[in-house]
Structure 1
Amino acid sequence: MTKLNKDKSRYRYIQRSDISISSYIKPPSKHLIFELSDKEQCFNLFISQKQFEGYGDIACLNLSSNGFSAAPNGTEFSLLPNLTYLDLSFNKIDLAYDNAFQELKKLEVLDLIWNAHYFKSFGVTHNLNFLKHVPILRVLNMSHNSISTLTTKQMHSRSSAELQFTHNKLGTLWKVGDDSYKTLFTNLTNLTVLDISWNDIEKIPGDVYEKLPRNLTELRISNNKMTDFSWDSLSYFHRLQILDLSYNSLSNIAGIETVTVTKPCLS
């Protein structure tokens, strides 16, 4: 691929004020956005630091749908110190290194949906330790990655407020008799929104409820295979406002009348 600073005609470098990043993030009135175009020529490519020379003011970077087969090691985006939003969706990102994205000290939103290539491969590192090294990340989207095994047993972040984890395989990670991943989300201490819909969950182990972040205001578990839900466990979540259990096979709501939740919205 031609380097960005050598052939800028293939790229769009624009200013917009109508970006919707997340309910948590309000972009500046003039938000710098960079999008890679001419995507049909960019397959099985790697991301290198030199590609971003001369673009240090970029705040939003969209590299989706480019077939990047890359294992970020914490250096690739060092020339983009002002990056707050990074979209790497629809690629083949390999999260092998703990220090991936650590150079992005201002990053608030990271989109890694549809990067299932390496998560589906056996015998390779399936690592989410990078999260602890991105200091102010608030929104992480890991959906559509078919995650059924992880090298990481616990995710760590003091800043992340929203985690989208749909269309993965928590039903496999939380299988009966395996305690390995029961504390996967426990150390996301600032998390308020967790979406684990479409995860082939038949049953959430009883002790997983108490290990979920206690600050949750929104918990979505829709489109799974659950026949039972531990209603009493809602007492762990004093701030919960939205609980989405739609499109499961629940038949028992015994005990729900004893649960106290602030401004609940059950669906």
Structure 2
Amino acid sequence: MPQLLLSMCPKECICISEEQKVTRCDNAALNDIPALLDPRITSLSMVNCTLKRLDPDVLELYPDLEYLDLSFNKIDMIDMKIFKYQTKLRVLRLKGNQLSSLQLDSFIDLRQLQILDLSTNQLLQLEPSTFSILNNLQKLILSNNLLTKLQSETFVGLKNLQQLDLSNNRLHTIGEHLFDDITTLQSLNLSKNNLSKIGSDTFASLTSLKHLDLSSNSLTDDLSFNGLNSLQYLNISYNLLQRIIASNYRPLSELRELDLSANQMMELATSSFIGLNSLEILRMTNEPYLHSIKPNAFSGLINLRNLNLSSCHILEKIDENAFEYGDRLEILDLSNCRLIRLPQKLAEWTNLKSLHISGNPFHCDCELLSFLPEVLRKFSINITCFTPPWLIRQKYHAAGRLTNIYT
């Protein structure tokens, strides 16, 4: 029997006809799914072939399939009930095809499906209830399509969905009730869209969400995170935020990591992050307009361990009382800013485990040099003095000596 099964394997494929019953035909010049494979196969991969359509008569031959990968082909249509015999299918990958729409009944019999990848297609819209039969779906990938709007019933029925990726589409609005039916969701990626506003109750039903990526949109200060009581990671980098409104972030009591990089903030006001008691990592890199950080800007951040303010090229001043709990910082990156002074009171410098301060035009006066040499020695780093005039372009070494950077 094994020899017979191997003889049924096309020369372009690799067939493993033992317990797993796996067939791989990746990168083969095949226009159709082979009809003479082992009918008991559980896994079929035909990535980067030349498939244009799926033949229901051929698919009928493989009712035991649990894994089907048809990524990077030329499939432009999924017929109604095309997978009606694949009732055991758990993973379906259709990434990188030419799908522009989906039939309402395309997935109607895939009740055991857990992962569906439709990324990198040409989907323009999704009909309401397209996925409603997929009660066991846990991961849905719709990234890199052409979606501009999603109707409120798009995700109805997805009672067990945990991961939803809508990144790199053309979404400009998110309906208030779009996520009402996917209360089990833990990860949501909306990055690289055209979103300009988040409604007050858009995320209200996502009480289990832990990871939210809103980066690379056009969001402004009017944000709402109502309902996100379990959120641990939030990325709002590369948007149009001009200030931090602390009340907007108040529901995020469990937030551990926040990325606000590359926005349009000019300063960090007092108590900007009040209420984020669980925050451990804060990134605000590449802020082109940030010039100052006010007293107690980071007050309330009792668990902050890692702060990255690198490449804020006009950041000149951080108030010495910016931190309420500066002694708890472990990682601090202030590199490539325009800092002239580092207040000794800003942090417990010798308690840090990692420090980056290069690329700043420091004023090497007595105050700075009274504590900085010890810090430089601990981290084996150097700084360059830009003032006073007699120390211009002098590099202060970790060894505690000055040298001209041109020598």
Moved over 6 A (4+): none
Alignment of 1:48 onto 2:85 = no
Residue deviations 1:39-61 (CA, integer Å, cap 9, x gap):
1x43xx22124432543332111
2:67 to 19, 29, 33: 33
CA separation of 1:204/1:129 partners in 2, compared to 1, >3 Å: closer, same or farther? farther
Partner of 1:245: 260
Alignment of 1:76 onto 2:110 = no
SS in 1 for 2:89: coil
The one-letter code sitting in structure 2 at the alignment partner of 1:239 is E
Partner of 1:143: 167
Alignment of 1:184 onto 2:202 = yes
1:262 to 273, 278, 281: 278
Are the equivalent residues in 2 in contact too, given 1:4–1:52 (CA < 8 A)? Answer: no
CA separation of 1:259/1:188 partners in 2, compared to 1, >3 Å: closer, same or farther? closer
Partner of 1:225: 240
Q: How far has the Cα of 1:100 moved from its partner?
A: 1.2
Inter-partner Cα distance in structure 1 for 2:170 and 2:163: 19
Alignment of 1:197 onto 2:177 = no
Inter-partner Cα distance in structure 2 for 1:8 and 1:211: 52
Q: Which has the larger radius of gyration?
A: 2
Partner of 2:195: 170
Are the equivalent residues in 2 in contact too, given 1:210–1:233 (CA < 8 A)? Answer: yes
Are the equivalent residues in 1 in contact too, given 2:97–2:120 (CA < 8 A)? Answer: yes
The one-letter code sitting in structure 1 at the alignment partner of 2:210 is T
Greater shift, 244-253 or 45-54, is seen at 45-54
Are the equivalent residues in 2 in contact too, given 1:141–1:163 (CA < 8 A)? Answer: yes
SS in 1 for 2:258: strand
Inter-partner Cα distance in structure 2 for 1:257 and 1:245: 12
Inter-partner Cα distance in structure 2 for 1:82 and 1:260: 40
Are the equivalent residues in 2 in contact too, given 1:170–1:199 (CA < 8 A)? Answer: yes
Q: How far has the Cα of 1:33 moved from its partner?
A: 2.6
CA separation of 1:76/1:8 partners in 2, compared to 1, >3 Å: closer, same or farther? farther
The one-letter code sitting in structure 1 at the alignment partner of 2:165 is N
Inter-partner Cα distance in structure 1 for 2:245 and 2:123: 36
The one-letter code sitting in structure 1 at the alignment partner of 2:252 is F
CA separation of 1:257/1:54 partners in 2, compared to 1, >3 Å: closer, same or farther? closer
Greater shift, 54-63 or 213-222, is seen at 54-63
- Sequence identity percentage: 22
CA separation of 1:232/1:80 partners in 2, compared to 1, >3 Å: closer, same or farther? closer
Are the equivalent residues in 2 in contact too, given 1:144–1:166 (CA < 8 A)? Answer: yes
Inter-partner Cα distance in structure 1 for 2:277 and 2:136: 35
Inter-partner Cα distance in structure 1 for 2:144 and 2:36: 28
Greater shift, 47-56 or 224-233, is seen at 47-56
Q: TM-score, normalization: structure 2?
A: 0.50
Please tell me the root mean square deviation across aligned C-alpha atoms, in Å: 3.0
SS in 1 for 2:267: coil
How many residue pairs get matched?
Answer: 229
CA separation of 1:214/1:257 partners in 2, compared to 1, >3 Å: closer, same or farther? closer
Q: How far has the Cα of 1:252 moved from its partner?
A: 2.5
Inter-partner Cα distance in structure 2 for 1:164 and 1:215: 16
SS in 1 for 2:169: coil
The one-letter code sitting in structure 2 at the alignment partner of 1:231 is A
For structure 2, the 5+ residue unaligned runs are 1-30, 46-64, 284-407
Are the equivalent residues in 1 in contact too, given 2:131–2:156 (CA < 8 A)? Answer: no
Are the equivalent residues in 2 in contact too, given 1:3–1:50 (CA < 8 A)? Answer: no
Are the equivalent residues in 1 in contact too, given 2:160–2:184 (CA < 8 A)? Answer: yes
Which structure carries more relative contact order (alpha carbon 8 Å, separation 6+)? Answer: 1
Partner of 2:335: none
Q: How far has the Cα of 1:243 moved from its partner?
A: 0.9
Q: TM-score, normalization: structure 1?
A: 0.74
Are the equivalent residues in 2 in contact too, given 1:5–1:51 (CA < 8 A)? Answer: no
CA separation of 1:257/1:161 partners in 2, compared to 1, >3 Å: closer, same or farther? closer
